[in-house]
Amino acid sequence: KAGVTQTPRYLIKTRGQQVTLSCSPISGHRSVSWYQQTPGQGLQFLFEYFSETQRNKGNFPGRFSGRQFSNSRSEMNVSTLELGDSALYLCASSLRLAGDEQFFGPGTRLTVL
């Protein structure tokens, strides 16, 4: 069974631009969660989608948004990029519950210049 895939793996943007990251969950998994990882901060929860609906949201500004498609694939978007948005963005999928064992993709490394 193929694992969680994320594209692109690396991205360089400049301040003020916007970016879209993509995630394909494990086949059959319906819950997709997104995390931001920065040094010293661990994994900060962004949001979780289930059956195309945002079911849970972390404490991030409205510049961070996401969506999920009918095939469970998910995208997250960050608008008006700031230097502090430079981070590793991780996507994880689980069968049904976001608080169960999650399977992670390799992440997208975003650098904002």
Partner 1 sequence: DQQVKQNSPSLSVQEGRISILNCDYTNSMFDYFLWYKKYPAEGPTFLISISSIKDKNEDGRFTVFLNKSAKHLSLHIVPSQPGDSAVYFCAASARREKLTFGTGTRLTIIP
Greatest C-alpha distance within the chain? 39
Q: What is the DSSP letter of 65?
A: E
Rounded to 5 degrees, what are φ and ψ at 58?
A: -90, -175
Number of residues counted as binding partner 1 (CB under 8 A): 24
Ramachandran sector of residue 48 (left: φ over 0; alpha: ψ -120 to 50; beta: rest)? beta
* 1 near partner 1, judged by CB under 8 A: no
Figure out which of the listed residues 72, 105, 110, 112 binds partner 1, where binding follows CB under 8 A. Answer: 105
Which of 21, 24, 33, 112 is close enough to bind partner 1 by CB under 8 A? 33
Binding mask 50-79 for partner 1 (x = CB under 8 A): ------x-----------------------
- Write down the residue that tokens 């993709």 correspond to: 105
Element (H, E) at 95: none
DSSP state of 59: S
Stretch that binds partner 1, among 13-21, 69-77, 79-87, 92-100 (CB under 8 A): 92-100
Interface with partner 1 (CB under 8 A): 4, 33, 35, 40-45, 48, 56, 90, 92, 97-107
